């Protein structure tokens, strides 16, 4: 597929299949289109030409409800986090459950566990604007995981956290990958990629010259 904004073409002739259970890193200079690529992957954008399929369905053929349902199977960690500022952190993390009508208690037990995992239990009742950048990022990851999605797309999930926390988040993502989840992380943190390569079979893709290229062994 190819995609261009009014400003100009970002990709042409990009072709990629995220195999179930695979682990991908997506790198590239700032402004190269990493976030755009992820948006294409979860149906927030429709490509200018070519085809994007989500779970085998062509995005162009999907109704708005189809896209909503597909998003419940894709956990997205947004670069700018995207919370509802008037709801508490806990309510924000539960939002995917709420909007999909999950009332089951174990989902909420799951929530408590996740909050513990990302170290936010004590901040449960805080409002998002009161959180630090790193806390928001951990919260965004927790929200992406709450529905036990098949696929996790993470945009700079470790951009604002210290090394130790970024290692913990990475370990969590690797753990999820071992459980069979498909994972793609957009990042320009090469240290993170190197650390991951010791534990998981990951492919590293780089956006350059409007194409996706497999990054070499120099990482």
Partner 1 sequence: MSALRSVIDFAIGDAQAEKAVPPTGFTVRLTVFSAAAMAFLVVFALALSLAAGRLADRWSDELARSATVRISAPVEQMAAQTEAALNVLRTTEGVESARALTLEEQRELLAPWFGPELPLDALPLPQMIEVIETASGFDGDGLRLRLAGEVPGAVLDNHARWRGPLVSAASSLRLLGWVSIILIAFATGAMITLAANAALAANAQVIAVMRLVGARDSYIAQAFMRRFTLRALAGAAAGTVFGALALLLLPSASEEGGFLTGLGLQGAHWLLLILIPILAAVVAFLATRLAAHNTLRSLT
For partner 1, the binding residue among 13, 53, 55, 82 (CB under 8 A) is 82
33 binds ligand ATP (CB under 6 A): yes
12 binds ligand ATP (CB under 6 A): no
Q: Phi and psi dihedrals of 137, rounded to 5? A: -70, -40
Mark residues 53-82: x for contact with ligand ATP by CB under 6 A, - for none. Answer: --------------------------x---
**Of 44 and 195, CB closest to partner 1:** 44
What would the two tokens of residue 109 be?
Answer: 């037990």
35 binds Mg ion (CB under 5 A): yes
Euclidean distance between CA atoms 203 and 26, whole angstroms: 9
The partner in contact with residue 122, picked from Mg ion, ligand ATP, partner 1, none with C-beta cut-offs of 5 to 8 angstroms by kind, is none
Euclidean distance between CA atoms 184 and 203, whole angstroms: 9
What would the two tokens of residue 195 be?
Answer: 């650390």
Which of left, alpha, beta for 180 (phi over 0: left; psi -120 to 50: alpha)?
left
**Is residue 99 a contact partner of residue 163, using CB atoms and an 8 Å limit?**
no
For ligand ATP, the binding residue among 32, 90, 110, 158 (CB under 6 A) is 32
**Of 153 and 205, CB closest to partner 1:** 153
**Is residue 54 a contact partner of residue 131, using CB atoms and an 8 Å limit?**
no
The partner in contact with residue 60, picked from partner 1, ligand ATP, Mg ion, none with C-beta cut-offs of 5 to 8 angstroms by kind, is none
- Least separation in angstroms between residue 179's CB and Mg ion is 27
Residues 6+ apart with CB under 8 A from 92: 83, 84, 128, 139, 143
Task: Write out the residues near partner 1 by the rule CB under 8 A.
Answer: 44-45, 64-65, 68-69, 71-72, 76, 78, 82-87, 91, 95-96, 98-100, 143, 147
């Amino acid at each position: 597929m190819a995609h261009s904004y009014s400003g100009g073409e970002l990709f042409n002739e990009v072709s990629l299949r995220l195999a179930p259970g695979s682990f991908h890193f997506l790198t590239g200079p700032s402004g190269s289109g990493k976030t755009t690529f992820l948006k294409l992957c979860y149906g927030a954008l429709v490509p200018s030409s070519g085809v994007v399929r989500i779970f085998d369905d062509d995005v162009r053929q999907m109704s708005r409800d189809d896209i909503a349902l597909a998003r419940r199977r894709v956990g997205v960690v947004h670069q700018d986090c995207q919370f509802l500022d008037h709801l508490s952190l806990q309510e924000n993390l539960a939002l995917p459950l709420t909007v999909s009508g999950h009332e089951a208690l174990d989902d909420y037990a799951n929530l408590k566990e996740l909050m513990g995992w990302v170290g936010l239990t004590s901040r449960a009742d805080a409002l998002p604007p009161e959180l630090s950048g790193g806390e928001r990022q951990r919260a965004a990851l927790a929200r992406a995981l709450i529905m036990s999605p098949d696929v996790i797309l993470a945009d700079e999930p470790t951009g604002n956290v210290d090394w130790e926390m970024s290692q913990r988040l990475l370990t969590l993502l690797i753990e999820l990958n071992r459980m069979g989840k498909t994972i793609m992380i957009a990042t320009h943190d090469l240290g993170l990629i190197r650390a991951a390569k010791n534990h998981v079979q990951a492919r590293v893709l780089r956006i350059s010259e409007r194409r996706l290229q497999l990054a070499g062994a120099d990482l």
